[in-house]
Structure 1
């Protein structure tokens, strides 16, 4: 099998700001795995919060280059098991795992959702994210992209005023992501007011380590709470049960589609809602997420929509959120450059 690593600097359409960071570009690694005339693509973006860079991922992958080149077949679960055994970071594993799945599906001539026994007849629509900015600028960003569902990043001194201002201009559903920025008291104070403003749920309002805080919110917060930073790997799903109403799975954090499929099954067995989110990936990563949508309650896969220029084709997110799935197998990805 052939291996190629490509580094991209993805330029964002707007400065993207959350409670702990701000950026105008996103570094991204794309892994290309080729076998028998087909190429599979996988992606993982850098992340300072988890101390991951494109260079660190490339170094990890190049250490096992000889193993990859010696492969004559591809079976994603077995490949993932090997990568885990070699103790690569979850981000590097994700890029490789997504590429392996895309390649496997292309060789089988079937999309992944079909290989997993699902259909694309029903799926949740993605939200569109509005990053933290001045209130006027956040309103401007929202009006620039009319959409039925928005995720609003909060964690400012004027959070309620932001939602009140946005609500004046749209009847769309709002989701709130505070990225660990609130206290228990803030959450309990804001939740009823946000619910009245048609907010659907809160994502990770408290710090991930604040277990006692989440216990204090249980049964008192009037809005559902979804775990993000509190649910990184498979073992975290059970830990979130009883504290959260649902989980947000990030492929880069958990290590790709292989563990994500298990996390979905586990969460459903615990009667928890399941969401999959993105990390500002291009259509390489987003197209992999799209294959999971028939199994999800919610999805946040607007990463490619936030870019000035995409680097690939794959899933097409049309106006209103309807998906046009690729006609080729796997995740249906083709690189543009």
Structure 2
């Protein structure tokens, strides 16, 4: 098996701002695995919050190139278990590798990933579209630029209620709020009352990740469901989130790929937590991998490729929130 690493700079349509940073370009790593005439691709993007960069991911994968390339016909689960000890400190690199291996494995089996997993796509949820923090006028303009059934609105400013109040005047769409750790306990509980009246479905990660006492307080008193993001990184975190959140947002780059992501979703379901998968402004490579998890999800945020000025691959397409799969097997991705 041959390992190929490609580095990209994904340019965004608009400056993307959340409570802790703004970006115009998203560095991304594409991992490709080739064997027996088949090819599989995976992706992971850099992220300052998680202290990960593309050069570091590439270095970490190069260190174990021989182990990767000597892999034969192992299942994705066995491959992940073998590689995890070497990349336990770089889950982003492990994610890109795991995606690529799952893609390759399914293509060799002649199936799409959701078919290999025996998932039915009949009741897939719609994806939201993210409106990053900007002036109220710019946020309204972004929303009007792409009419959508569900908007995820980034907050964490002093004008949060005013922002949502104004956005509500321009659409009947469902709103989801992501404060990216930018609120206090009292702000969250109080804001939830107003935001519920404004048609907000849930709040995502309002408090800092390690504020478990605060999470518990919000969980008890918020009139809106609370979904964990920064507080739910790896598999062990799902159980910690129980009775502190109403659901979990599984990010594949944070947990190490599709293989552990599927386990996290199943654990969340057993605990009665709502399930969600989110993206990190990936190209269609990463977004197409997420698409195959849809049958197991209550919510999904997989709009990353829609935020790009220019994509680097073809795969799933999205029409007014609905995901359409590629005709190709695996994740259905083809690099341009």
Asked if TM exceeds 0.5, the reply is yes
Task: Name the TM tier (shorter chain).
Answer: over 0.9
How far 1:74 sits from its partner (Å)? 4.3
Partner of 1:159: 160
**Quick one: distance in 1 between partners of 2:135 and 2:118?**
45
Contact 1:35–1:72 (8 Å) recurs in 2: no
Report the secondary structure of 2:206's partner residue: coil
Q: Cα deviations across residues 140-182 of structure 1 (Å, max 9, x unaligned)?
A: 0000010000000000010000000100000000000000000
Question: Are 1:285 and 2:286 counterparts?
Answer: yes
Partner of 2:302: 301
Contact 1:280–1:306 (8 Å) recurs in 2: yes
Partner of 2:55: 55
Instruction: Identify which range, 217-226 or 175-184, moves more after superposition.
Output: 217-226
Contact 1:204–1:225 (8 Å) recurs in 2: yes
Instruction: Identify which range, 68-77 or 197-206, moves more after superposition.
Output: 68-77
Contact 1:19–1:178 (8 Å) recurs in 2: yes
How far 1:289 sits from its partner (Å)? 0.1
How far 1:121 sits from its partner (Å)? 1.3
How far 1:73 sits from its partner (Å)? 2.5
Report the secondary structure of 1:218's partner residue: helix
Residue segments in structure 2 that go unaligned for 5+ positions in a row: none
Contact 2:196–2:224 (8 Å) recurs in 1: yes
Partner of 2:8: 8
Partner of 1:238: 239
Contact 2:61–2:93 (8 Å) recurs in 1: yes
Partner of 1:68: 68
- The TM-score normalised by the length of structure 2 is 0.98
Partner of 1:201: 202
Q: Cα deviations across residues 110-141 of structure 1 (Å, max 9, x unaligned)?
A: 01111111121110000000000000000000
Partner of 1:271: 272
Partner of 1:40: 40
Mapping for residues 170-181 of structure 1, pairs under 5 Å: 170-181=171-182
**Quick one: distance in 1 between partners of 2:144 and 2:131?**
11
Mapping for residues 1-150 of structure 1, pairs under 5 Å: 1-88=1-88, 89-150=90-151
Partner of 2:191: 190
What is the alpha-carbon root mean square deviation over aligned residues? 0.8
Question: Are 1:247 and 2:248 counterparts?
Answer: yes
**Quick one: distance in 1 between partners of 2:184 and 2:303?**
28
